[in-house]
Amino acid sequence: MKNVGFFPGNILIPKEELLPRFSVVACDQFTSQPDYWEEVEERTDNNPSACHMVFPEAYLGKVDFDGKIAQINAAMDQYLKDGIFNEFPDSLIYVERTLQNGAVRKGVVGLLDLECYDYHKGSQSLVRATEGTVLERIPPRVKIRQNASLECPHILVLIDDAKKTVIEPMGEDLPNLHKLYDFDLMMGGGNIKGYLLDREAYGRMAAALGKLGDKRAFNRRYKTTGQDVLLYAVGDGNHSLATAKECWDKLKKKLTPEEAENHPARYALVELNNLHDPSLQFEAIHRVVFDVDTDEFVQELLAYAEKKPSKGRKTDSAESNAQAPISPQKFTLVAGGQDQKVTIQAPKHTLTVGSVQAFLDGYLKKHGGRVDYIHGEDVVRRLSEEGAVGILLPAMKKSDLFKTVILEGALPRKTFSMGEACDKRYYLECRKIK
């Protein structure tokens, strides 16, 4: 069987009575709402929890970074010593996550082969980033992972399986599967159920992945010629997966080929989802700008938007191969609690988010300030009333994702979100990486 890039692994799950306090939402959520994380810390205080194994980004620049990393590594080692996990060797886990709106997201947790992944621009690898990777965000994350004994992922990886041949069949016989967990997630995260899958189930799944990744079928599907197969697109956790890749590339230089073949750090634990799962809804990731002169910022943004296309202009988008002028793009500016509809007359990118981000990068480099990436419109509006400037962006169509990445490369960073912040993946399954 050819390498389909996704495998069973030795998966650790906290003991049943620990799960409600152990499982917390991804560390890159609620970054401008420190009260959320303060409540999580209160709920998990003196309890084994993923909260003590990750670095919530809401705390970046506000706590001792090196000291926090030491605490994270110590917590992982202590949890292993205390035996808080049950281990399930050579396994996959079928997951059903009931979201806040009642929809059920289906997935399979397993190992993604980092040798099949390249996050750099122009990659033609089997696994690809869907958004531009901000290289300066990787070294701090490497410092967290490089000495960690465990990984506990929030990474969601997508397949474009319109016929639902890979993930959905894994859940067709739930009464005969061994249920591993079933509990309500804290802080409005809904419910999650997990079921053990064995090698036989993996064989069926791998066969379906092999058909989905057939190069001739792939090019017919996307009406392309000679393109290398994109089987897995990173939906959430792009920088976490890039960090795992960076750590692996450094480590394997010290290993023999035999050691590297099956070293645990060669793989990253992820949840695989189908793009065609009805529960998966693409939400826009909005921008909120802090520490700028509001009037000056608004004037420059409006001037940028009102520039007319020059004659014979070609797009200067790094993400686009198109040569024709791009149609005007619309977004909503929120300042002082007031909305203003804005149209970019001469967009620089094929997506509105890319054109807005190009302005923000230039403005912040020149004038200072900082930008945060927010999922909910209500949070953007509240922050704008407190002195920040908000930019509400349209969501992209999820049906455009794979073909856009295939033809144009990675999207501008923070282009889309798969659902609201509370629906993001919660840390739960773990794996030894040392």
Residue 350's pLDDT band, with cuts at 50, 70 and 90, is confident
pLDDT of res. 321: 43
pLDDT of res. 131: 85
- Distance between CA atoms of residues 84 and 19, nearest Å: 10
Tokens 């004037």 correspond to what residue? Answer: 299
The pair of three-digit structure tokens given for residue 419, joined into one six-digit string: 């659902």
DSSP 266: G
pLDDT at 419 over 90: no
pLDDT of res. 314: 46
pLDDT of res. 410: 85
pLDDT of res. 2: 67
pLDDT of res. 322: 42
User: What are the CA-CA distances from residue 226 to residues 121, 218, 223, 233, 238 (Å)?
Assistant: 19, 9, 10, 19, 26
Residue 414's pLDDT band, with cuts at 50, 70 and 90, is confident
pLDDT of res. 383: 94
Q: Are 361 and 406 in contact (CB under 8 A)?
A: no
- Distance between CA atoms of residues 15 and 31, nearest Å: 29
pLDDT at 181 over 80: yes
pLDDT of res. 431: 97
Q: Are 271 and 155 in contact (CB under 8 A)?
A: yes
Could you give the percent of the chain with pLDDT greater than 90?
A: 79
The pair of three-digit structure tokens given for residue 206, joined into one six-digit string: 């791998």
Residues 344-371 have a mean pLDDT of 92
Average pLDDT, the chain: 92
| Tens-digit pLDDT profile for residues 74-114 | 999 999 999 999 999 999 999 999 999 999 999 999 999 99
- Residue 286: what are its φ and ψ, rounded to 5°? -85, 165
pLDDT of res. 115: 97
Residues 142-165 have a mean pLDDT of 95
- What's the residue count for the chain? 434
* Nearest 10 degrees: Cα torsion 54, 56, 60, 63: -70
Residues 132-161 have a mean pLDDT of 90
Residue 225's pLDDT band, with cuts at 50, 70 and 90, is very high
Q: Are 287 and 415 in contact (CB under 8 A)?
A: no
Of 274 and 312, which is predicted with more confidence?
Answer: 274
| Tens-digit pLDDT profile for residues 297-341 | 999 999 999 998 766 544 444 444 444 678 999 999 999 889 999
- Distance between CA atoms of residues 412 and 382, nearest Å: 26
Report angle CA 329, 303, 360 to the nearest 5 degrees: 70
- Distance between CA atoms of residues 156 and 307, nearest Å: 39
Residue 192's pLDDT band, with cuts at 50, 70 and 90, is very high
Tokens 């799962």 correspond to what residue? Answer: 277
- Beta-strand pair 127-128/150-151: unpaired
Q: Which of 328, 378, 372 is nearest to 349 (CA)?
A: 328
pLDDT of res. 311: 61
* Three-state DSSP class for residue 292: coil
